[in-house]
Amino acid sequence: MDRQRLMKLTLTAMVAAICAVGAVIKIPTPFITTAALDSAPAFLSVVFLSPVLAGVAGVIGHFISALTTGFPFGPLHIIIAVEMFIVVWIFGVMHKKGMHFWKWPVALILNGVVAPLPFYFIISPAFYWTSLTSLPLATLINLVIVAVVMPILSKVFVRKEGRVH
């Protein structure tokens, strides 16, 4: 394995570990029990990881967050993890393409409103509407953390010829 690939995998593992720390920092919400600061590190990692690797870190973060609450939605957490991958991946693609304004509202809407939509049909319409009372707020908190830290982290990771220095 070449040095560059090893460095990317190591960074992905480190981000996943930070997601694990964020997973135990729960956001108090009356209805959704797995809302935590697990996605902020994954969103933040788009500064120095590819959108795919950032998405993988988001998946790991979600599973650890769900694990810390006893997997209240059982196997449905697989759907949530896939959605987390997609949202972080889209955020990362938008970041890499320089869509620095639009990535924020897109991530908020996708994660806070669109992601719980399958549960409208799987669990109940009431579950979906109830999730809209807390999931957008949890997403917003994660994104505000990212918005504060991202400019600082962007200065730390200077890109030259596609390499992180």
Cβ atoms of residues 84 and 107 within 8 Å: no
Cβ atoms of residues 162 and 49 within 8 Å: no
What pLDDT digit, counting tens, does each position of 118-131 carry?
A: 999 999 999 999 98
Residue 98 belongs to some domain of the structure: yes
**Helix/strand/coil percent split, the chain, to 5:** 70, 5, 25
What pLDDT digit, counting tens, does each position of 94-107 carry?
A: 999 999 999 999 99
The CATH number assigned to the domain holding 137 equals 1.10.1760.20
CA–CA dist 118, 149 (Å, integer): 32
Residue 163 belongs to some domain of the structure: no
Q: Which residues constitute the domain of residue 71?
A: 3-157
Q: How many CB atoms lie within 10 A of CB 73?
A: 18
Q: What is the mean pLDDT of the chain?
A: 90
Residue 26 belongs to some domain of the structure: yes
What pLDDT digit, counting tens, does each position of 134-143 carry?
A: 899 999 999 9
* Domain count within the chain: 1
CA–CA dist 164, 162 (Å, integer): 7
